Chains A and B, each alone.
Chain A
Amino acid sequence: MRIIIAGAGAVGFHLAELLSKENQDTVLIDMDEEVLSHANDHLDVMTIRGDAASISILEEADVASASIFLAVTTSEKTNMLLTILAKQMGAKKTIARITSPEYLKPKEKERFMHLGIDEMISPTQIAAEEILRLLERASFTDLFEFEGGKFSIVGISLDTNCPLNNKRIAQVEAEVENFSFRGIALLRNGDTIIPSADTLLLKGDHLYLATQNKYLDQVRRFVGKTLQPINNIMIIGGTNLALTTAKLLEDKHNITVVMEDKRTAKHFVEEIDRGMVIKAAPGNIDALKEEGLGSMDAFIALTPDSEINILTSLTAEHLGVYKTIALVDNVNYTHISQNIGIDTIINKKLIAANSIFRFVRKGKVEAVASLHGVDAEIIEFIIHKKNRLLKHQLKDLHFPKHSIIAGVIRGEDSFIPDGEFTFHIDDKVIILVLADAINQVEEIFK
């Protein structure tokens, strides 16, 4: 499949990385020579230097034979123009990255489809929705729902007084009585481990669990996390993401938004009906304390500056804020920030790239999710007719070592399968796969 990506920024580069690892024919267009030579050295993609909005560059990239055209430059208008041009020149499917939430409204979709923009993706909107979901399940660090909430994968960090510390997986599973869950991945010192029955859980580990949604409360109690209602939320940063998040949260929560720039603050006041807008430097801890940081239930740091986000979140954590979320766009900080105590790290660009990647793979798989800091993906497959998986019990199927089945959804039911389990046609299988085994697993479900 020939896929053309216009814009080699963080989103474009990450997408190119995901796609080239999938062995797609990927072409990356950008003006910046350095970014492109970096891509050339590290990824198996073709790079073209030039303005993607120029017809000759699009011709050179052979847009006519492209299955998918992705416009992910930082400029919304450029992206829209690019997708329109690409569609006219013969690209089969076009996806544009946009920022204005207005364009995303369902009734506008047809208008843009007509122009030649098949899908529009707003990283800001997606990230804001992600924050909302994280707050709803605040005791977990990550949350992925499958099939409209029938099945979930959640992340927990094993802190000092967690009852799971120093137990083996088999021991833990033996203690469980009337509900079921499975540990599917363990993040320890930056390494991803697929746990087996005798893996020992240690303090500081980050554990990902698969379970049915109806058991989420039991799982929470079992792992020693408390559920606390979230009322007071402080958001710092005058960014678009902060505004979108604030608007999503203001109906049900008391929000305080802190930013430095006066004009931005004024804009926020116009947009937000309930909630406080504070004009102060987000890095000024004293000011944050004065505005009641200590009595907040949640603290969300969304400034463009990763360092400020990490430091203020740590301070909030220290002051006893129940849930802290930090926007960290610098990928290098992801591991370390989670290790030193911030509840949840979000990366807007990775979220955006992953959600675009999901569109690209539509049809081949049902859904994908990438866990933060884990070199693995959770993929949902459907078992088709004539698949050899139907004939044997699970223990005889020889799945690749670097993969684990998290759960199976059958109609309205969901299971966590054991060795005796056999698949049925149309079962939806949720499976966690380390990056190097993805092709193998896709082959099995083909």
Chain B
Amino acid sequence: MINFRVVLNVVGVLLIILGGFMFATVAATSLYGTEDSFALIQSALICLLVGVLIWSTTRSSNKNIGKREGYLIVASGWLFVALFSSLPYLLSGRIPEFSSAIFESASGLTTTGATVFFDIESLPPVILLWRSLTQWIGGMGIIVLTIAIFPLLGIGGVELFVAEATGPTSDKIHPRIKETAKRLWMIYVGLTTLLTIILYFVGMTFFDAVNHALTTMATGGFSTKNDSMMHYSSAAIQYPIIFFMFLSGINYTVIYYSLIGNFKKVWQSDEFKTYVFLVASLIFAVTVVVYQVTELPLEESFRSVAFQIISIITTTGFVSADYTAWTPALTMLFFTLFSIGACGGSTSGGIKIIRHLVFFKNSVLEFKRLLHPRGMIRIKIDKQIVSPRILTHILVFLLLYLIIFIISSIVMSIVFSDFEQPFVTAIGSVATSLGNVGPAIGELGPMDNFAKVPVFGKWFLVFLMFLGRLELFTILILFTPYFWKTN
């Protein structure tokens, strides 16, 4: 039988943490005026009240978290956090409509970065910071944060960690899960602080620097400017953002090993090498094209291309140029990149390079197997054999991703039937939501806004964002009959 008490107990703790973040937002923006601060305080109090109520009524000595509880905690935890994160938008009246408020908070938490706001610059600082903060919390994951700071999740913490972290496998960088989670968050906080300082010194206001650092490290893509990163055309601001977006796409385990000086581990990572190679070759090829078809000088073409490619492949979704205006082939390329994703174990969304790598290596080896029917041909990643179990898991993931993409595209084509380009807009919006990227193509391109999506469409895209962020299985498993059976 599923232990619902322990599930609710953790959800209570998550809401308490969320309330704490809301208070922190109010405190941090108090210098910039108090417009809408009251809405945040109200939301914080609601979170704390509900959180403490749930937490205190479900306390029990039985803290056994099995596989079922693990999945349920992560799925319901994210659902509750998304619901309560929309309170500031609703209570301040900035987004009066419920589905749009949920869309904004889900888009934030899942680090998608699609927005329903038309005039972002008119929003008060407290709302802007809250938007950015939801992305930052969702980037590394609120469950991982809970494991790091609360002792409550003891043994079962491993299950939760695996259910929330990205990528097909999760490595421990410390024998204890709590310490692993703590180190990941410390790196996350450290890099965010570093980026804030850099952005401040290269010319952003301190407030904008904080916001952009939060959403860059989370690979989220919310900006405090209507024109996103087009507002900041200087190379001094764009290069640090490019570099840190690239960093955020790297597996945090690899970043950890490079920080402690274990470079052998870094070079051993096939995924990291593929990521570097893929990004570099894409930037090279696209720069050549863009330099030829546009009037831009070489440096600007390179910067513009590097920015767009890295922003999309890490699923950040910042835009410094309208990539749909270059050539149709490049629009198609960017559409493809929506689903690639960066490394597993990073804050990025999408399918992740490790899965593609396994898929391609396995496909190539299949030909070898045809020629050598008796050969022991096994796929190796990081010099270790990939077990058949993980291989199947990855192939199933890819196929599910494809099927969900097709079905969802059909659904969204119906939703968008009144639009001028219903099909392109549909597949674009599905790919970008499932990949947690942000801007899409067609009528929801980098220059557009998701406010015009009909209500049902918004809910559907929210569902896709959660599917993408929690990598399909954690959500889908709840819809299987096996999950709810006792045996």
Contact = CB atoms under 8 A, between A and B. Distances in A.
Interface of A: 2, 20-21, 23, 25-27, 33, 40-46, 436
Interface string B174-201: 1111110000000000000000000000
Contacts of A25: 174-176, 179
A41 B175 contact: no
A33 B387 contact: yes
Nearest to A28: B175
B387 A2 contact: no
A45 B155 contact: no
A41 B158 contact: yes
Given A25-B179, A33-B387, A436-B61, A40 B158 contact: yes
B175 to A, nearest CB: 4
B157 A44 contact: yes
A45 B179 CA distance: 11
A42 B155 contact: yes
Interface in B135-167: 154-155, 157-159
A45 B159 contact: no
A271 B155 CA distance: 47
Given A25-B175, A25-B179, A44 B387 contact: no
Contacts of B158: 40-41, 44
Contact of B175 (A21, A45, A436): A45
Contacts of B154: 44
A40 B159 CA distance: 9
B184 to A, nearest CB: 15
A117 to B, nearest CB: 24
Contacts of A44: 154-155, 157-158, 175-178
A41 B176 contact: no
A33 B385 CA distance: 11
A20 B172 CA distance: 15
Nearest to A16: B175
A272 B186 CA distance: 64
19 contacts: A25-B174, A25-B175, A25-B176, A25-B179, A27-B175, A33-B387, A40-B158, A41-B67, A41-B159, A42-B155, A43-B155, A44-B154, A44-B155, A44-B175, A44-B177, A44-B178, A45-B175, A45-B176, A46-B172
A50 to B, nearest CB: 10
A347 B38 CA distance: 64
Nearest to B170: A40
Contacts of B177: 44
Given A33-B387, A436-B61, A46 B155 contact: no
A386 to B, nearest CB: 26
Contacts of B172: 46
A21 B159 CA distance: 16
Given A41-B67, A436-B61, 11 more contacts: A21-B155, A25-B174, A25-B175, A25-B176, A26-B175, A27-B175, A33-B387, A44-B155, A44-B177, A45-B175, A46-B172
Contacts of A2: 175
A41 B159 CA distance: 7
A84 B218 CA distance: 47
Contacts of A41: 67, 158-159
A436 B62 CA distance: 10
A13 to B, nearest CB: 14
Nearest to B389: A37
A40 B176 CA distance: 11
A218 B158 CA distance: 50
Most buried by B among A26, A41, A43: A41
Contacts of B157: 44
Most buried by A among B154, B157, B175, B387: B175
Most buried by A among B157, B176, B179: B176
Contacts of B61: 436
A23 B177 CA distance: 10
Contacts of B174: 25, 46
Given A41-B158, A436-B61, A23 B176 contact: yes
Nearest to A3: B175
A213 to B, nearest CB: 35
A40 to B, nearest CB: 7
4 shortest A-B CB distances, which residue pairs?
A46-B175, A25-B175, A46-B172, A44-B177
A42 B179 CA distance: 17
A136 to B, nearest CB: 38
Interface in B220-241: none
A17 to B, nearest CB: 9
A23 B178 CA distance: 10
Nearest to B158: A44
Contacts of A20: 155, 176
B66 to A, nearest CB: 10
B463 to A, nearest CB: 29
A314 to B, nearest CB: 31
Contacts of A436: 61
A20 B156 CA distance: 12
Contacts of B159: 41
Nearest to B67: A41
A21 B155 CA distance: 8
Interface string B290-321: 00000000000000000000000000000000
A223 B172 CA distance: 53
A407 B424 CA distance: 78
Nearest to A25: B175
A25 B179 CA distance: 9
A108 B393 CA distance: 53
Nearest to A19: B175
A194 B67 CA distance: 30
B467 to A, nearest CB: 24
A119 B75 CA distance: 48
A25 B178 CA distance: 11
Nearest to A437: B61
Nearest to B157: A44
A440 to B, nearest CB: 12
A186 B383 CA distance: 53
Nearest to A439: B151
Contacts of B155: 20-21, 42-44
B269 to A, nearest CB: 15
A122 to B, nearest CB: 28
Contacts of B175: 2, 25-27, 44-46
A44 to B, nearest CB: 5
Contacts of B387: 33
A41 B172 CA distance: 12
A436 B152 CA distance: 12
Contacts of A46: 172, 174-175
B478 to A, nearest CB: 20
Contacts of A40: 158
A26 B176 CA distance: 8
B16 to A, nearest CB: 23
A21 B176 CA distance: 11
A42 B159 CA distance: 9
A436 B159 CA distance: 20
A327 B368 CA distance: 52
Contacts of A26: 175
B158 to A, nearest CB: 6
A25 to B, nearest CB: 4
A100 B327 CA distance: 78
